[in-house]
Amino acid sequence: MAILEDSFTVALTAVRSAAMTLPSSVSAVRPLTDGRLLALQTELAEARRVLDAASSLVAGEIQHRSRPELGYKGLAQRSGFRTAEKLVQHTTQSTARDAAGLVSVGTLVHEAVAPAPSLAWLVAAGAAVSAGALSVAAAQAIRDGVGLPSEAVTALQLTAIVELLIIESTELHAGDLLARARQLRDDLDVAGVADRERQIHLERSFRRVARPNGLPRYIIDPDLESAAYWDDLYGALSSPRRGGPRFVSDDERAWAEAVASDERSTEQYLHDAVTELVRAGAGASPEVVGSRQPAVRVLVTERSLRERAGVGFIEGTPLPISIATVERIACAAGTVPLVFDDTGQALNVGREQRLFTTRQRIALAARDGGCRWIGCDRPPSWCEAHHVEHWHRDRGRTDVADGILLCRHHHLLLHNNDWSIERDGGGFWLTAPPGSPVGAERRMMPSKSAAVRELLAHPA
C-alpha cells in the first residue's frame, strides 16, 4: 500500500508542477489561430479525462469502503456522512451530480479489474475510463442508457452495445451518447418495453437539492404517464405565451390575453402558477399531506420589526428578506413571539416530559436552522430533536438549551457510532469516536439559522 500511495504522490506532484506552468491570462490565447484554439481545447479535455479517471478510481474505493453491508462501520459513515457520494462531494468540493458520477464510474473502473465483475457488460467502459479514452460523463451516460440484462437481452449483447458506444463516443457528447445508448437498447429488446416502463415507474422521484446560493432546487423525474400529465399541464399554462389555440370562447380568450400580457417571464409565470396549484391541492387534500399543513415560517428580531430596519429570514434559507416582506407575511399569518437570551437559547420545560413540545420545536427550528451536523443541509422539517444530555443515560432535561436538531441519519449515526455532542454555553461541539477518519478533534457545530446570526450580531 505504501508503494501505491507514493506513486500517487509522485505523479500528482508532477501534475501540479506542470499545471502551474500553464498560461493563465487572456493574452496567451488571444493570438492563437482558430484551429490551434480548438485543438488546445481538445488537448485540455484529454488531460482532464486522465485526471477524472484517477479521481473515479479513488471514488470507487471510497464507495467500496462505504458499501451498505458495512452499515455505520463504513468509511463515509465513520466520517460523518450519509453516503460515499456525500463524502466525495465534501472532499472534492463538487456538486452532488458530479460526485455521484465519480462514484458510479469509479465502481465501473473497479469492476474492470475484479475477478468476477457483477457488471460484466460495462467492463469495457471502466477500462476505457482508466485508459483516459472515455470521460466520466460519457461512461455514466453509457451505463444509464444500456440498463441491465433481462430475459430477452443477455449481458453479452449489452457488452457489444457498450463496445460500439465507446467507438462512437469520439463523435458524440454525453447527452447524445445517452440517447444513442437507449436507442440501441430499445432496438434490441422491443419485447422488454413493458419491463422498462415498469423500471421507469419505479425510478419516479421528487428530489430536493441545494443550489449554489443555498436555496433548494426541486427536481421531478416522472414516470411515463405522469410525464404526459406534466407536459399537458405545462402546455396548458404556457399556451398563451406560445400563441395558443385561436378557436376558443370569450372567457378563454380573455384569460389567454391576460397571461400573454403578464409582465412576468414565462418561467416566472409557470413557477407562480404551479406553486398556487400545489397550495390549493395541499389545502384540499389532508389525506395526502397529513394534519400539518405546509407553511412559510419567517424569523425576525423584535427590534428589526419594531424599528422597520434590518432584515428577516425565511426558516430554512440563508438569504435575507426585506422588512416589507416580513410585514406582508405577518399581516396574513400573524406572529408568534420567541424569547432568546444573549447566547441564542430559549424556552425550557424541565424534565416533566421526554418529547419536545410543538412550541419548543419551533424554537429549535428558529435557533438551529436545520440539522446542525457539520456539512448537513437537511431543513428543520426533516429533523429530530436530540437530547444533548441523554434522557435515560444522563437524566437529561427536555430544555431547548439542551436540545439540538439532527436529521434522522445523523441522529442514528450519533447513537450507533458513539459520536458525542457537548454544550458549552450557547454553543455545541461535535467529537468523533476514537479511530474515526476525521480525527478526534472537537469541532464547533454552528447554527444554520441566518436569523440567529443576525440576532447575535445586532443585540437589542
pTM over 0.85: no
Least confident of 68-72, 265-269, 279-283, 287-291: 287-291
Angle at 420 between CA 345 and CA 401, to 5 degrees: 10
What number is the average pLDDT over the span 43-63? 88
Of 18-32, 110-124, 359-373, minimum mean pLDDT range: 110-124
pLDDT at position 7: 78
CB 364 within 8 A of CB 408: no
Quickly tell me which residue has 474505493 as its cell: 61
Spatial distance between the Cα atoms of 130 and 428, rounded to a whole number of angstroms: 44
pLDDT at 192 over 60: yes
Q: CA angle 214-218-224, nearest 5°?
A: 160
Mean pLDDT value of segment 105-109: 84
> What pLDDT score was predicted for residue 194?
72
The band of 65, judged by pLDDT with boundaries at 50, 70 and 90, is very high
What's the whole-number mean pLDDT along residues 398-421? 81
Higher-pLDDT residue of 330, 368: 368
pLDDT band of 62, cuts 50, 70, 90: very high
* Residue 157 φ/ψ region, left for φ over 0, alpha for ψ in the -120 to 50 degree band, beta for the rest: alpha
Report the share of the chain in percent with pLDDT over 90. 10
- How confident is residue 155, by pLDDT bands cut at 50, 70 and 90? confident
DSSP per-residue codes, 272-314: HHHHHHHHHHHHH-HHHH-SS-----EE--HHHHHHT-SEEEE
Measured between alpha carbons, how far is 208 from 106 in angstroms, rounded to an integer? 25
What is the average pLDDT across 85-93? 91
What mean pLDDT is predicted for residues 381-390?
A: 78
| Predicted confidence band of residue 162 (pLDDT cuts 50, 70, 90) | very high
Average pLDDT over every residue of 438-446:
83
Confidence of residue 59 (pLDDT cuts 50, 70, 90): very high
What is the predicted pLDDT for the residue at 337?
55
- The CA distance from 174 to 184, in Å, is 15
Predicted local confidence at residue 85, as pLDDT: 92
pLDDT attached to residue 276: 81
Residue 71 has pLDDT above 70, yes or no: yes
The tens digit of pLDDT for each residue in 170-187 reads 888 888 898 899 888 888
> Regarding predicted confidence, which is higher, 280 or 365?
365
Contact (CB, 8 A) for 373 and 361: no
Find the range with the poorest average confidence among 9-13, 312-316, 416-420: 312-316
Q: Given this model, what pLDDT does residue 393 score? A: 47
Q: What is the pLDDT of residue 101?
A: 85
pLDDT of residue 89: 92
- pLDDT by residue (tens digit) across 201-249? 898 999 888 787 778 888 999 988 888 888 888 888 887 776 655 556 7
Share the mean pLDDT of the chain.
79
Per mean pLDDT, which range of 117-121, 230-234, 283-287, 370-374 is the poorest? Answer: 283-287
Q: Is-contact 422 431, C-beta < 8 A?
A: yes
At residue 201, the pLDDT reads 87
Per-residue pLDDT, averaged over 102-130, amounts to 78
- How many Å is the Cα radius of gyration of the chain? 27
Predicted local confidence at residue 114, as pLDDT = 58
Domain residue extents for the chain: 26-202, 210-286, 298-333, 358-457
In eight-state DSSP terms, residue 239 is G
C-alpha cell at 288: 395526502
Whether pLDDT at 82 is above 50: yes
